[in-house]
Amino acid sequence: MPADLRSFLEQVQRQEPRGFYRVSREIDPRYEMAAVVTQLEQQRRVPVLLFERVRGARFPAVVNCFASRERLARALGVPAAQLPARYQEGVDHPIPPKVVERGPVQAVVEAGDAVDLTALPLMMYHDTDRAPYITAGIVFARDPESGRCNLSYNRLMLRDRAHLGIFMTVGKHLHEIYSRMETRGRPLPIAIALGNHPAWALGALYIGPYQVEEAGIIGGLLGSPLELVAGKTQDVLAPAHAEIVLEAEILPHAREEEGPFGEFHGYATAPRPRQVVRVTAITHREDAIYQDVLGGSHREHLVLPTIPMEANLDRAVRAVVPTLRAARMAAPFTCILSMEKRFEGQPRSAILAAFAAELYLKHVIVVDEDVDPGNLGQVLWAMGTRVQAGRDVFIIPAVPGSNLDPSAEREGIVDKLGIDATAKPSLKEFAPRSRVPDDVMARIRLEDYLPDLK
């Protein structure tokens, strides 16, 4: 059996105690599912939740599939610590997809007037959202010149039974493909895959050159080719083993207001005139499961994309600084690099390489190898004790960045900040760190001195 959402859900149930729950009580997709997830997050829990009865919808809905690094790592067959290396291995050894004749995702085909997006359990998450959204769809689109297939996640706003609004970041690949078609006055055919295996999600989120096909990386992550079927109403390819596929086209020269929508950084983004998607068919399994990634700053939306981002940053920075230890996305638009500095100025090279590799990146902080980049207390300690602002902070003004950054004065144009929080001129020559002597730490046992300690 090929890896798909179902095989993954079975794996979670087998391998992760307290990692999977069915909700049999009926629930409203307007805010109620988001409230359940939020309350669990407040308890620092992110189990997979399968909502069996969603009010007004024909399908059950599953959320939180990709909400923890451990769960994603397990789906790729490795412990969490090896996830970045496993990801890079998949990127380095792609396996091209295989087109097959038929797949379970086309067991039912609803085309033309039968298309009804409102029958899907589309959720509303936040008080600021304009309409129900699809956030967990992988958009498959082919470049009209090369024929290469691009994959990306794009939020989709429900407009009516057959139309969606779409948000495509300028500078990302789907927007480029769309622009090439729009120049010819033609719609861009797309397939939107819903109900995806973690390897599909992580592969789709690969960040790299335009020419690299994400579907091949998915193959590399799975160790076998991703199986694709041809669309019934559009010249598109989509995963044969997805749960639901929306066949559609992004219309040329059409813009309608999309948003506001509460984004991953925790703010509602302003409404803007954006492209319109016309859905020409919904194909699905007999007993399809709808999958959702909660919009906004919920765990799943924060965890999932950082893994490919960190892999990309790791590769780009390591190319100039081979002694990089780790790259961590610590907050929206913010990255921390830890490295063994070999010579002065090297952190600045690392910062420039990181900015060149990741459009969204706005702030980069570099720390020495004795600081854990995953521990923000330690990072702030390094900034507090190793930085002189006049010497170690630099700003590159007015550079393209995320068009979701609410602090930007002009949309999509941001100032980029680098902070070299390494010890100068080197860690070895810096003020020594004070430590209780190692031999004494090893010798002293708390219970000998504090037998009553609870």
**Residues near ligand FMN (CB under 6 A):** 135, 150, 152-155, 167-169, 172-174, 205, 207, 293, 301, 304-305
Answer for the pair 313, 335: CB distance below 8 angstroms, yes or no.
Answer: yes
| Residue 172 binds which of ligand FMN, Mn ion, none (CB < 5-8 A, kind-dependent) | ligand FMN
Given 64, 135, 150, 154, the residue binding Mn ion (CB under 5 A): 150
Alpha carbon 159 to its chain's center: 24
Q: Which residues in 170-199 contact Mn ion (CB under 5 A)?
A: 173
The contact pattern for Mn ion, residues 109-148, with x = CB under 5 A and - = no contact, is ----------------------------------------
Least distance to ligand FMN from the beta carbon of 205, Å? 5
> Which CB sits closer to ligand FMN, 47 or 305?
305
Which residue number, 54 or 177, has a Cβ lying nearer to Mn ion? 177
User: Residue 308 Cβ, how far from ligand FMN at the closest point, in Å?
Assistant: 7
Contact of residue 120 among ligand FMN, Mn ion, none (CB under 5-8 Å per partner type): none
Which of Mn ion, ligand FMN, none lies near 66, with the C-beta cut-off 5 to 8 A by kind?
none
C-alpha 297/C-alpha 267 separation (Å) is 8
What gap in Å lies between CA 247 and CA 282, rounded to an integer? 6
Partner touching 301 among Mn ion, ligand FMN, none, CB below 5 to 8 Å by kind: ligand FMN
Cα dist from 234 to 3, 173, 368, 419, whole Å = 25, 20, 52, 49
- Tokens at residue 353, please? 């390489």
Of residues 27 and 174, the one with the C-beta less far from Mn ion: 174
**Is residue 312 involved in binding Mn ion (CB under 5 A)?**
no
* CA geometry: angle 379, 382, 388, nearest 5 deg: 130
Cβ at position 267, least distance to ligand FMN in Å: 14
Nearest Cα residue to 306 out of 17, 6, 69, 21: 69
Q: Which secondary structure element, helix H or strand E, spans residue 9, and what is its range?
A: helix 5-15
Residue 77: C-alpha distances to residues 8, 83, 89 (Å): 11, 9, 13
Q: How many helices (H) and strands (E) does the chain have?
A: 13, 25
Binding-site ranges for Mn ion (CB under 5 A):
150, 173
